[in-house]
Amino acid sequence: MTSQQTTTTGTLVIERRTIDMVPANERHGTPWSQFTLWFGGNMQITAIVTGLIAVAIFHAEPLTAIIAVLLGNVVGGVTMALHSGQGPRMGLPQMISSRAQFGVIGATLPLVLVICMYLGFALTGAALAGDAISHLLGLPSTAGSAPVVGILIFGALTVIVSVFGYQLIHVMGRIATVAGILGFAYLFFQLFANYDVGATFGEGATDAATFMVCLTLGASWQMTYAPYVADYSRYLPADTPVSTTFWSTFLGSVTGTQISMTLGILIGAVSGEALLGGPVGFVGHLAGPAAAAFVIYLVIIVGKLTANTLNAYGGIMSTVTVITSFNAETRISSRARSIYIIVFVALTMVIAIAASADFLNNFKNFVLLLLAVFIPWSIINLVDYYLVSKERIDIPALYDRHGRYGAVNWTALVPYAIGIAVQIPFLTSDTYSVLGTFNGPLADVMGGIDVSWAVSMIVTFAVYYPWAKRTMRPPSSMIYPRDYSPEQTGQIAVI
């Protein structure tokens, strides 16, 4: 393709790119698309449930919880948005870039954990959206049983949007933004009109340990986006400033999440035993009249479809990255990509249907444990990109295990393992009930305040940065594929 040729894209054109670099003449869109994608993608029921956990499980005082999750969203959002800033510069999915730190094959370790994350969020999303669809269609439900028909319908919708890919995902983000603003504004109005929300303030725990765990909920939510946020900024023009990409992503994600989590916290504070019918059912009840509940269920489905499509899309990118680590391919066919998506979504539906009824507690453990494995990966990736390599990547070498980055790089893998292990002494069973009665030996010293992820950030940086400065040999400038020209231009149809 010459620099004079143009590429036209459309909403219903199946995406061709997978883990290969997006050429300059296919770059399109504006940073505003990042804002709407992450704002709309976070105005959804799972974020509401995450806020709900702060009150329903940790019994936090509502105002304390709102402030804590806000701080957590800001801290995690900074990290997440810095990853987004890598997208326009490299034009690559997020996890491919981690080969520059971990090696082409070494990067598969965090990748496998990332795939588990996608599956976890996708199946919980399918369960919640399936419940919304069941309510929408008036299907009978049994306490403790999965909404099978709703999950199957939602899975089919997820496959359709994911197969078409990037363009349709962004359209869904814009729809979810408008629907979320209107739907959530109505829910807040109903909440304050029907409940004495102010009377719940002052009731609940306000101690430092509770504040920290609520902060961790917000931080973990944002940081779990880090492994795939650049997947959606890689189509922006290569000269898009990092600061512009950062702020559009940060503001969209933090604002959308905080609104949803605040609603969840307040719902948890006023709902009491009514919540036993499930968070989706309670939100429908909060909406009031049948027609209003119908619309709110649609809002839940649209928001959750946007978010679950991100999980399916990112899950396939990570799966393909693992596979190509061993066969040196730089891309796969659209047909193979579609098959991977169908298999991935089918797996999430099967697990969602068979999942335990103890949803809130299991989801809480899932979200918090993700933070333990992604914090050190995120620190290593960001430190290398911004402080060691200084935005200079040998892109062809990312696909060659015999190239600059090698097959396995212990300079990253060892600090990564240390970053996970160093958290263990600080873990508390109050935060991670999956640990049973185990408390880390330093947890009591900290007064029960779980600072494990903060310790991981500091230790991972302290181990990796000086080691990488001595041993990593980044190129003197960005090295692009042979057939790529940063000066290419083309007229792109922006939907």
Q: What percent of the chain has pLDDT over 70?
A: 86
Task: Quick: pLDDT tens for 455-486.
Answer: 999 999 999 999 999 999 899 888 888 766 55
CA distance 263 to 258: 8
Q: What percent of the chain has pLDDT over 90?
A: 37
**Selected residue with higher pLDDT from 36 and 333:** 36
The answer to whether 397 touches 405, Cβ cutoff 8 Å, is: yes
Residue 189: count other Cβ atoms within 10 Å of its Cβ: 10
Backbone angles phi, psi at 257, to 5 degrees: -65, -45
Least confidently predicted of 157-166, 293-302, 352-361:
352-361
**118 token code pair:** 């996608």
**348 has pLDDT over 60:** yes
pLDDT for the residue numbered 141 = 62
- Please report, to the nearest 10 degrees, the dihedral formed by the alpha carbons of residues 74, 76, 77, 82 taken in order: 130
**21 has pLDDT over 90:** no
Q: How far is CA 197 from CA 71, 165, 271, 280, 466, in A?
A: 22, 41, 10, 20, 51
* CA end-to-end span of the chain: 23
**492 has pLDDT over 50:** no
Helix (H, G, I), strand (E, B) or coil at 451: coil
The pTM score is: 0.86
CA distance 397 to 400: 5
pLDDT for the residue numbered 5 = 37
Helix (H, G, I), strand (E, B) or coil at 238: coil
**Selected residue with higher pLDDT from 224 and 359:** 224
Task: Quick: pLDDT tens for 167-185.
Answer: 788 788 888 899 999 999 9
